[in-house]
Structure 1
Amino acid sequence: MTLGIGWVILIVIIAILAGLALGFFIARRYMMNYLKKNPPINEQMLRTMMMQMGQKPSQKKINQMMRAMNNQSQIK
């Protein structure tokens, strides 16, 4: 009887480990696809957005906004 319980525990542990590994790889693939479709904002994108809003972006202003966005993303 104890031999049967041992096998059940072993199978449960193996299933949990397999689920964790599979979940990790699925989540990793999802994030890679998400970042490919929605890349994070870079300086060129920020400059283009500012020009579309009618502002003439200076490098100082762009650097300031990039720093603010990076600080905001690190807080979360």
Structure 2
Amino acid sequence: MSTFSWVLIVILALLLGALLGFFISRKYMMNYFKENPPIDERMITAMMAQMGQKPSKKKVQQIMQSMKMQSK
């Protein structure tokens, strides 16, 4: 085989690998977020109510801000 055909095979394999990797990782992340949804204000309010606390808007916002700061 000539050098050109080897280069073409390598380029096609890289493109195919990139496409497959993209779609496999996309499928994995969609399944992950379906099983483990990110926490939002409604969930924090429900958790506080279960713990017997009266959830105020200010307290919920403080918890959301602290969670954002910890994730960085």
Taking structure 1 as the reference length, the TM-score comes to 0.81
Superposed CA offset, 1:19-66 (max 9, x none): 011101110111112112211111111011112222221110001111
The separation in 2 between residues aligned to 1:72 and 1:31, in whole angstroms, is 21
Alpha-carbon RMSD: 1.5
Q: How does 1:13-52 map to 2 (within 5 A)?
A: 13-52=11-50
> Secondary structure at the residue paired with 1:67?
helix
> Unaligned stretches of 5+ in structure 1?
none
5+ long unaligned stretches in structure 2: none
- Cα shift at 1:4: 1.4
Q: Distance in 2 between matches of 1:67 and 1:32?
A: 25
Distance in 1 (alpha carbons) for counterparts of 2:58 and 2:52: 17
Q: Which runs of 4+ in 1 moved over 3 A?
A: none
Identity of aligned residues (%): 57
Q: CA deviation at 1:71?
A: 3.0
